[in-house]
Amino acid sequence: MHYEGMIIRPPSEADSILLQVTLGCSHNKCTFCGTFREKRFNIKKDDVIFEDIEFARKYCQRQNRLFICDGDAMIVPQKRLVNILEQIKDRLPWVQRVGLYANTKGIGMKTDEQLKQLHDLGVKIAYMGLESGDDLILKEIKKGADSAKMIQMGTRVKQSGIKLSVTVLVGLGGRKNSKRHAAETGRVLSAIDPDFVGALSLMLVPGTELNDQYEKGDFDLINPEEMLEELGLMIASTHLTNGLFHANHASNYLPIRAKLPEEKEKTLALITQALKGKVALKPEFMRAL
């Protein structure tokens, strides 16, 4: 495989074939993210991508899922993306699910018919970073979209038949905006009604704007107990019709996997017990991005 630079993928894609189609992220301005700082966004040449598909045909026959890297493969022009998906379908017929990251810009470049076409060609799940549902925080972190845009684009993905997993960041509002961040994020999640929610706990990355703000005293990073309180309020404010709310990423202090709405109250009770010291939290040295 012709991998260039750091490769990231969602935790649920740990056993997937990783096919790098784009380099970096077309937005690459979020203040909290340092993943693709050293990469200039580009779409790799088709002959390199197809050579990697051939490698997977020979050596990855036990893996029935494939994840298209890097940051936002949905932004690849439709004709090229369709061609890649058709190659995957032809050369890797055992692959049952293709996943990719999608931001609002990339989704917005597709028509409803094109999104449905991607679904029909094997794209069964898209991962979208919401981070926060609060418009002021979204502006501060330079996300490039407001909550209305997030709701619109997330809803369009779901309507195409592609399952949607939305990522949020606990702690992103700092101490001053913690409650508003939690409540507004719950509001937007409820409006999108995704199939999956993945909650990560903020970890500051050296070299990012947000870390610089923290070192200058312009951003207050909340402590583990405050993270849990915020997570509890976020879950309480989130109303899904049939979704999974995950907070079991390596960054989180308390692993949670809850089916909503059925397990909401049980999950909130678990958080309450943890806040009372009756459930152990993950020690700081065991946390990771």
Cβ distance 194 to 149 under 8 Å?
A: no
Over residues 140-168, mean pLDDT = 98
Report which of 248, 249, 231 is spatially closest to residue 289, judged by C-alpha positions.
249
Phi and psi of 69, rounded to 5°? -100, 165
Is residue 43 predicted with pLDDT exceeding 90? yes
Task: Write the burial class of residue 199 (CB in 10 Å: 0-12 exposed, 13-18 middle, 19+ buried).
Answer: buried
If one compares 243 and 39, the residue with the highest pLDDT of the two is 243
If one compares 283 and 175, the residue with the highest pLDDT of the two is 175
Q: What is the pLDDT of residue 280?
A: 85
Is residue 248 predicted with pLDDT exceeding 80? no
Is residue 204 predicted with pLDDT exceeding 70? yes
**Tell me: the pLDDT tens digits for 179-200?**
999 999 999 999 999 999 999 9
Phi and psi of 235, rounded to 5°? -65, -40
Cβ distance 223 to 178 under 8 Å?
A: no
Q: What is the pLDDT of residue 229?
A: 96
Q: Which residues pair with 42 in a beta bridge?
A: 23
| 3-class state of residue 74 by DSSP | helix
Q: pLDDT band at 37, cuts 50/70/90? A: confident
CB proximity list for 1: less than 8 A, separation 6 or greater? 18, 19, 20, 52, 55, 56
Q: What is the pLDDT of residue 289?
A: 64
**Tell me: the pLDDT tens digits for 60-103?**
999 999 999 998 899 999 999 999 999 999 999 999 999 999 99
Mean of the per-residue pLDDT values of the chain = 95
**Tell me: the pLDDT tens digits for 94-132?**
999 999 999 999 999 999 999 999 999 999 999 999 999
Q: What is the pLDDT of residue 189?
A: 98
d(CA 65, CA 96): 6
Tell me 221's DSSP state: P
Is residue 287 predicted with pLDDT exceeding 80? no
Q: pLDDT band at 158, cuts 50/70/90? A: very high
This prediction's pTM: 0.95
Q: What is the pLDDT of residue 38?
A: 78
Over residues 195-210, mean pLDDT = 95
d(CA 288, CA 15): 19
Domain ranges of the chain: 11-277
Phi and psi of 125, rounded to 5°? -150, 140
CB proximity list for 23: less than 8 A, separation 6 or greater? 4, 5, 39, 40, 41, 42, 43, 44, 70
Pick the CATH number of 11-277 from 1.10.3720.10, 3.20.20.70, 3.40.50.970, 3.50.50.60: 3.20.20.70
Report which of 30, 247, 249, 226 is spatially closest to residue 137, judged by C-alpha positions.
30
Report which of 221, 113, 197 is spatially closest to residue 161, judged by C-alpha positions.
113
DSSP letters, 224-260, are: HHHHHHHHHHHHHT---SSEEEE--STT-SS--EEEE
